[in-house]
Structure 1
Amino acid sequence: MADGELQEDWSRPGETLGEMGLFSFVPYLMNRIMGRYNADLQGELRALGMTTVKMRTLAVLAVVPGLTINELSVYAVTEQSTMSRTLEALEQAGLVRREGRASDGRVREIYLTEAGRAEFDRAWPAMYAGYQRMFAGIPEEERQAFTGTLQKILRNIRQHDI
């Protein structure tokens, strides 16, 4: 350990939740924030004939094409069984297609179709508006620092390499 570094002992219990308070307990705050974001977005998505899981699936594939169902489940924060049903519906609607992986035809990769890209493009303004509302009045420097902290937290807790 370098001079000046503090080593925290995470093995011993710290404060109680009552001592910390809900508004100092980060998991509570994150759940409240995402619950509100998703609830606001859900109404707008419903008007577009889309569910939150379908929107997440299209959004992920718009940025990271060619994922397997398991990878897509991780990125979209959805159970694999739910993702399987979602992909069936999206495929029937012509929004996604599955292709065998070039290196292993048994592995199926999922891609947006042109119609799927257009559907995501219809949902993006509502997603981005919610994102902007979350960061209203927060300077860019703080937003970037917060995003960096969240990325570090994700690295600390993730169970997958993605």
Structure 2
Amino acid sequence: MAEDQADGPLRADQTLGEIGLWQFAPYLMNRIMGRYNANLQAALRAQSLTTAKMRTLAVLAVVPGLTINELSVYAVTEQSTMSRTLEAMEKAGLIRRQARDTDARVREIYLTEMGRAEFDAVWPTMHARYEEMFAGIDDAERAAFVGTLQKVLRNVRLHDL
């Protein structure tokens, strides 16, 4: 596969063909996350987890008490998929829903002890795949990359939380 490269700085009037896939950040980000998720699939299947369940566990382990809409954004999952995922996770005893103190119509979602244990069991695999992504990249490069991704996320979050 040819790793095409654009000549000089990118211009607003360039076509994708002129830029090239290997210089087009959205393509690279999708490829990276596609491979990361594919590499996790075997471990997830062994624990009867889907990507949506894994993302839900991970997000709730760090940010408990989200609504379904918020959780869908954080877990990068369609709301309809998130609804089905949460139903299955609740039946399995991995999450619980609780009425918000300030508005009983709003349901907040939390991990149960079993859900926390499930996340703790999958985290070593998630972390190992994460470290594999950054093999050969020093701490300064990693920090700069993550900082750049955070700026990009702020730029595209027009309709998010």
TM-score greater than 0.5 by the shorter chain? yes
The aligned runs of 1:72-87 (5 Å cut-off) are 72-87=71-86
Local SS of the residue matching 2:93: coil
Distance in 1 of aligned mates of 2:114 and 2:70:
22
Match of 1:35 in 2: 34
| Letter of the structure 2 residue corresponding to residue 152 of structure 1 | K
In 2: Cα distance, 1:98 partner to 1:133 partner:
35
Could you say which residue in structure 1 is the equivalent of 2:141?
Answer: 142
Moved over 6 A (4+): none
Q: Which range moves more in the overlay, 16-25 or 100-109?
A: 16-25
Task: State the match for 1:51 in structure 2.
Answer: 50
Aligned length: 151
Normalising by structure 1, we get a TM-score of 0.90
Instruction: Give the distance between the partners of 1:160 and 1:154, measured in 2 at CA.
Output: 11
Equivalence for 2:119: 120
> Is the contact between residue 96 and residue 110 of structure 2 (CA under 8 Å) also seen in structure 1?
yes
CA–CA distance in structure 1, aligned partners of residues 15 and 109 of structure 2: 45
Counterpart amino acid of 1:154?
Answer: L
Structure 2: gaps (5+ residues)? 1-10
Structure 1 unmatched ranges of 5 or more: 1-11
Rounded Cα–Cα distance in structure 2 between residues aligned with 1:106 and 1:17? 47
Separation (CA, whole Å) in 1 of partners of 2:64 and 2:127: 20
Give the TM-score of the pair, scaled to structure 2.
Answer: 0.91
CA-to-aligned-CA distance 1:107-146 (integer Å, 9 cap, x gap): 1000000000000011101110110000001010010000
What is the root-mean-square deviation of aligned Cα atoms in Å?
A: 1.2
